[in-house]
């Protein structure tokens, strides 16, 4: 067992200057971070910003959909408590946390924008 490890380690040890640069692993790590930033972090930050802008522009009379799939019309907003009161039927009102409103259908709009999955 020890002979096998010595052989593998001996073959892996390459004379300095004959192998790849010592900065190659560092360059690969930086490249991976850049790729992750542009494909994962940046789009999510943009989506969160758009959602925050949508929530701040909510007003009475907006037709909204919640993350639970409930459609309703906003009848009240409490910014201090982050609560939106939604009328889902003539005599039925529901209080929903503001963060759970995922879309707003403006008057005259054909449909809500596509929500990412």
Domain regions of the chain by residue span: 2-53, 60-105
Q: What six digits make up the tokens of 74? A: 């906003």
User: How buried is residue 96: exposed, middle or buried, by Cβ count under 10 Å (0-12/13-18/19+)?
Assistant: buried
d(CA 5, CA 11): 10
Q: Which pLDDT tens digit goes with each residue over 55-80? A: 999 999 999 999 999 999 999 999 88
Q: Specify the pTM.
A: 0.64
Q: Which pLDDT tens digit goes with each residue over 93-114? A: 999 999 999 999 876 555 555 5
């Amino acid at each position: 067992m020890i002979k096998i490890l010595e052989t593998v380690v001996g073959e892996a040890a390459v004379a300095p200057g004959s192998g790849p640069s010592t900065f190659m692993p560092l360059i690969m790590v930086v490249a991976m971070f850049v790729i992750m930033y542009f494909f994962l972090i940046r789009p999510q930050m943009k989506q969160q910003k758009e959602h925050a802008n949508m929530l701040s522009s909510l007003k009475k009379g907006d037709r909204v959909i919640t993350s639970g799939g409930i459609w309703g019309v906003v009848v009240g907003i409490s910014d201090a408590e982050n609560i939106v009161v939604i009328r889902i039927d003539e005599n039925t009102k529901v209080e929903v946390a503001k963060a759970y409103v995922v879309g707003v259908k403006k008057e005259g709009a054909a449909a809500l924008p596509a929500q990412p999955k």
